[in-house]
Structure 1
Amino acid sequence: MPSKMYDMCGQEISVVRALSTTISPYMNQNQQYTKSQKDTQRKTAVRRSLIRSETLTREEKVQVQIVVQFFKVGEIDTLKEQFNADVVVKAKWREPAMDRQDRTDIDSIDLDKLWNPKLYIENALGDPKEHIRHRLIYNDKGEAYIYQKRIVKGTFMENLELNDFPFDVQDLTITVASELPSNEVELVVDPSEHHVVNRQSFVDEQEWHLYIHTECSRKELVIDQADNSVKRASLSVKCRAARRPGYFVWNIFLVTFLICSLAFATFSVDKSLPQNRLQLSFTLVLTAVAFKSVVNSSLPRISYLTYMDKYLLASMIMLSGVCTWHAIVTRLLDNRTRADEIEEIVLTVLGILYVLYNLGFVVLIYLFPCKKRRIMAQKDREYKISSVNSCLVSHSSLSQTSRSS
């Protein structure tokens, strides 16, 4: 029995030695893998801290390239001087700390924690809905750029110029500004992309005509009114929309013209019945006043006269002149022949003045408001030509690259 137990113990010891010999290499490999993984994590953490310390503060002035796309233009509210729109704001800026980084390092870095120009929409009304995404891109030289895409849906304020109403052309502006001072950030137009206006999704197509060209302007916003030296950089991108005047021409201008034309019919009433003449004339004046109130309800309270106001006021002045004559003619009834001659002269003068005023009004509309529309149409044609040329240049460069490769 003792010899058998000794043999069994010897077999167990040999088995344990064999197992330990087999498992030990794997245990050593696991320990080495864990150690290398910890070293990698430690290096990544150190690299993150270095990048963060380098990019959260910039000593030099950073140039941010901006492009704005009007994805959808909604209702243009003339009375409230605002418009609804869905816009896409793309921004791009250099990030030297990320130049020539490995793919593993890029995946381990949170781009939201890098330096940011802190862009916002300056003329947004309230809190618009925003969706912001960041990604890292490289050019042919291996230089890193942070690419930010901001999708904004909201209401935007716009100071409407209504001098030419209802033949006006309005600017629809998106102003992109930075919360950082202008000595730290410079906002410029992205030369590699074009501002885009999507006219197919325009909501107010029945009331407005949307142009496809855009214009940009740079300005500095004053942060503190007490200290004008501290300013913020901003970039304004605007598209334009021309009001379709057909509704106002047929329902306001034409009806007012007919009402004033009927004022000359009151001269057919005998001069000995001034009460009938005045009753008809006052009815026409009150009708013109009603039209004026309808027009005022569709416009904000502005301190200047629009083309519509000028026409309606001129018509009311003419009607008031007719009423004044009907009140004066009663003093001339002592000499009926003399009264008839004077009334013919007054009727002729009023008729000529009214016709000349209407002709002059049409000429003024053609020379000034319509001229602005012709300029906008010319800019649309130039924009189309430039877009086609840029597409041809990009296509030729791509074809040359493919041939060389």
Structure 2
Amino acid sequence: MGHPPGLAEPPPMLSIAADIQPITGQLKAQAQLPLQQPVKIKAGIFVYDFGEINQVLQNYQLNTIIWLSWQDSRLAFTPDSADKSEKFIPLASIWSPDVEVVNSANLELPSDGDVTVEPDGTVTYIRRLNLKLSSELNLVRFRFDQQQLKLILESGNYTSNQVVFTVSPRPSQWRKEVFISEWNLEKITQDVVTTQLVPEADEESQARFAIHIQRRSGFYLWRAFLPLILIVIVAWLSLWVPLLNVPTGPFPLSIGALLTAITFNFSISSSLPRVSYLTFFDAFFLICCISIFLTLVVNVYLTKRQQEVQMETKTIRRLGRRLIPTSFLVSLAIIILVFLI
């Protein structure tokens, strides 16, 4: 298994029974907190792969290595030789911070297996996990958006006075072959905060990792935005159809365009996020429907007035040809300024 780029060579996966050297006599005392408090926990992640990013349910799947490091002076030892600078100890036999992944249904990190202990008492914990994590997405710029996928670590049994996370100098990284369908992976950032789970409770320390991703919008430009624009243009063309009678006049084009747009929206609704606020795509779809509807209103009015005032009908029709496309373009420019700039 490779190790995260930019990190010091990590210890091997802790499973070689022949290297395990138990420390006798003092292990029974390790269930208590180390003497130096608060215990500072360094944490990092190394992303191996992504599963599905579900924007409807706002969760995602992550295959990652989580590593933790803390110091316990009670485990310090003098190396036997230059070749034995580390020891492998069962995690269950020493004190550990009981870290859990907050946004993964309270998943506690595995406590089986071994950890590496260095001569100064520094303990290194490394585990590879497949996680399903919830992460709230900001979809206001939907189809042209950037997101931060969260992974939050917390010590479930200790307050911030006993255990505190610190920002690790080792940057969290990802495997270069990592591929996310529809997204570009930008960077991974880490932050440390203290929070209260309930009012008046003791504060707890959290390590929060944010995986920054940016959506590749080309697919949606060709499969969503362009077809809707063509449907709107078809509705506009009804303003150039001769006003003869309803069956052969402008109505089939404008009504058909409106029904097609609504049907198109229903066909892609399963892939759209269920959020209460207006996204850029929602606003774009609305102005398309409004433009088609205004075209239909103009055609209804002109058909009614055709035999009454022929000249007035031609004037209104010419105005409709200019004003409706212009109002659509102005509305599109406004929502681009509001949502994307």
TM-score bucket of the superposed structures, by smaller chain: 0.7 to 0.9
Q: Which residue of 1 aligns with 2:296?
A: 323
| Conserved? CA contact 2:152–2:208, under 8 Å | yes
Q: Residue in 2 aligned with 1:218?
A: 192
Kindly indicate which of the two structures has a greater share of residues assigned to helix.
1
**Structure 1 Cα separation of the partners of residues 93 and 234 of structure 2:** 74
The match for 1:229 is 201
1:256 corresponds to:
228
Distance 2:215 2:316 in 1: 45
1:54-100 deviations in Å (ceiling 9; x for gaps): 66134621111111111222221222211111111111111111233
Report the structure number with the largest CA radius of gyration: 1
Kindly indicate whether structure 1 or structure 2 has the higher relative contact order, using CA contacts under 8 Å at least 6 residues apart: 2
Residue type at the aligned position of 2:230: L
Unaligned runs of 5+ in 2: 1-22
Aligned-pair CA distance for 1:250: 0.5
Q: Compared with structure 1, are the counterparts of its residues 108 and 321 closer, same or farther at alpha carbon in structure 2 (3 Å cutoff)? A: closer
1:93 aligned onto 2:66: no
Per-residue CA distance 1:101-160 (angstroms, 9 max, x = gap): 4659x979755322111111111258699575411013xxxx211111122112111111
Residue 161 of structure 1, aligned match among 124, 135, 138: 138
Superposed displacement of residue 277, structure 1: 2.3
How does 1:31-46 map onto structure 2 within 5 Å?
Answer: none
**Letter matched to residue 323 of structure 2:** V
Equivalent in the alignment of 2:121: 144
Aligned to 2:6: none
What's the % identity of the aligned pairs? 19
Aligned pair count reads 310
> Does residue 134 in structure 1 map to residue 115 in structure 2?
yes
Q: 1:134 to 1:53 in 2, by over 3 A?
A: same
CA, structure 1 residues 168+128, in 2 after alignment: closer, same or farther (shift >3 Å)? farther
TM-score using structure 1 length? 0.70
Work out whether residues 88 and 115 of structure 2, in 8 Å CA contact, stay in contact via their aligned partners in 1: no
- Between the aligned partners of 1:129 and 1:184, the Cα distance in structure 2 is 19
| Alignment partner of 1:176 is 2:163 | no
For 1:302, the equivalent position in structure 2 comes to 275
Aligned letter for 1:148? Y
Distance 1:277 1:357, change over 3 A: same
CA distance in 2, matches of 1:341, 1:316: 24
1:79, 1:300 within 8 Å by CA — same for their partners in 2? yes
C-alpha separation in 2, matches of 1:71 and 1:80: 23
Alpha carbons of 1:326 and 1:149: their partners in 2 closer, same or farther (altered >3 Å)?
same
In 1: Cα distance, 2:275 partner to 2:92 partner: 45
2:28 corresponds in structure 1 to 52
Task: Extract unaligned runs of 5+ from structure 1.
Answer: 1-43, 369-405
Residue deviations 1:162-198, cap 9 Å, x none?
111101111122111111222210011222x221122
TM-superposition CA deviations, 1:206-226 (whole Å, max 9, x none): x11112x22112223434x3x
The amino acid across from 1:121 in the alignment is V
Cα distance in 1 for residues equivalent to 2:90 and 2:280: 57
